[in-house]
Amino acid sequence: WHRAGEQLMGCSGCRGRFNVGKALSKASVSLTMLLIFTYFFYCLSGLSPLGDASARAAAPDAAQLGNASDGAPSNSIPVANTFGTKKFPQAIIIGVKKGGTRALLEFLRIHPDVRAVGAEPHFFDRSLMPRTLDGQITMEKTPSYFVTKEAPSRVCTMNCQTKLIVVVRDPVTRAVSDYTQTLSKNPGLPTFQSLALKNASTGLIDTTWSAVRIGLYAKHLENWLQHFPLSHFLFVSGERLVSDPAGEMGRVQDFLGLKRVISDKHFYFNQTKGFPCLKKPEGSSRPRCLGKSKGRPHPHIPPEVLLRLREFYKPFNHLFYQMSGQDFGWD
């Protein structure tokens, strides 16, 4: 700096050399201090001086954790993040399988006060949880919890104050969606009707088939209500999550006690995909839809089989409407 000042000013500037050099070194110290201060400000506030990428590292998505088949988008850059603490989740998306749980979690992750584990942990392992700062909510989603007998007592043992979110979808469409997923992994699978019906002529439904059993929402909810009061649950309509994502996300944010940050401006309807997509999801500057395994075409199922299944579910659905205090309008 001194030499530079000297060269710039020549001999006539020799008298001011000392002052210029001093001023320059003062400026460089100030600049360094400013950089250090800015760095610590970002770290302590939970924001990332590197942009969204390092913030996203706190919420690794499914692909990063080797679960890309779940349809979670995958464009995050792993950057070490040692700030915040790993907590058990304060809110869990407990189901239902094929209800729209991935869409809900990905939409929630836009919220700055939500930190979520992208993969489905399937057990309450704190080390898998992302780091969260005070005031942020730790979340996870594992759709099988809703139908697992022991899950309510285990969740309660961990934290009886846990908020529970269930995305429910017409059980008939849900069953077909579930079948479609299994068929995609096992193309030799018997037909839907041969699995759903115990007896084709009497139309007796096989309730032991998981694709059917999962849709008995009233039965599964009854099990959860032995451990948690109804006020701990939020039932999200899988249908409305598609037709009005912002509206449904408004309810979710209220339930979680979050500021309403996620709104209409975050979504657009992608005509090709046939589903709402995110305009600018966390960790990305480009619009993004869920993966190929979300929103895939369903095979043709004979209408009389679907009708029979609809009849079968009707009393269970009505019971579920009563228990949850919400009419989902499936029949």
Ligand X SMILES: Nc1ncnc2c1ncn2[C@@H]1O[C@H](COP(=O)(O)OS(=O)(=O)O)[C@@H](OP(=O)(O)O)[C@H]1O
Active centre residues (catalytic): 98
DSSP-based three-state secondary structure for 66: coil
Quote the least distance from Cβ 118 to ligand X, whole Å: 12
Residue closest to 191 by CA, chosen among 305, 280, 60, 93: 305
Nearer to ligand X, 22 or 296 (CB): 296
Nearer to ligand X, 146 or 320 (CB): 146
Q: Among 295, 305, 313, 320, which residue sits at the site for ligand X (rule: CB under 6 A)? A: 295
Nearer to ligand X, 270 or 326 (CB): 270
Quote the least distance from Cβ 324 to ligand X, whole Å: 18
Binders in 173-192 for ligand X, by CB under 6 A: 177, 180
- Spatial distance between the Cα atoms of 281 and 267, rounded to a whole number of angstroms: 9
- Spatial distance between the Cα atoms of 325 and 235, rounded to a whole number of angstroms: 10
Query: Would you say 80 and 26 are in contact if contact means Cβ atoms under 8 Å apart?
Result: no
CA distances for 274 relative to 154, 289, 290, 317, angstroms = 38, 10, 11, 27
Residue closest to 56 by CA, chosen among 109, 17, 15, 20: 109
168 is a contact residue toward ligand X (CB under 6 A): no
Q: Give 163's strand partners.
A: 91
Name every residue whose Cβ is closer than 8 Å to that of residue 45 and which is 6 or more positions away in sequence: none
Quote the least distance from Cβ 83 to ligand X, whole Å: 30
109 is a contact residue toward ligand X (CB under 6 A): no
70 is a contact residue toward ligand X (CB under 6 A): yes
Question: Is 296 one of the annotated binding-site residues?
Answer: yes
Binding mask 87-106 for ligand X (x = CB under 6 A): ----------xxxxxxx---
Binders in 249-278 for ligand X, by CB under 6 A: 275-276
Name every residue whose Cβ is closer than 8 Å to that of residue 329 and which is 6 or more positions away in sequence: none
- Spatial distance between the Cα atoms of 100 and 69, rounded to a whole number of angstroms: 15
242 is a contact residue toward ligand X (CB under 6 A): yes
221 is a contact residue toward ligand X (CB under 6 A): no
Quote the least distance from Cβ 144 to ligand X, whole Å: 8
Q: Rule CB under 6 A: which residues touch ligand X?
A: 70, 97-103, 143, 177, 180, 241-242, 275-276, 290, 294-296
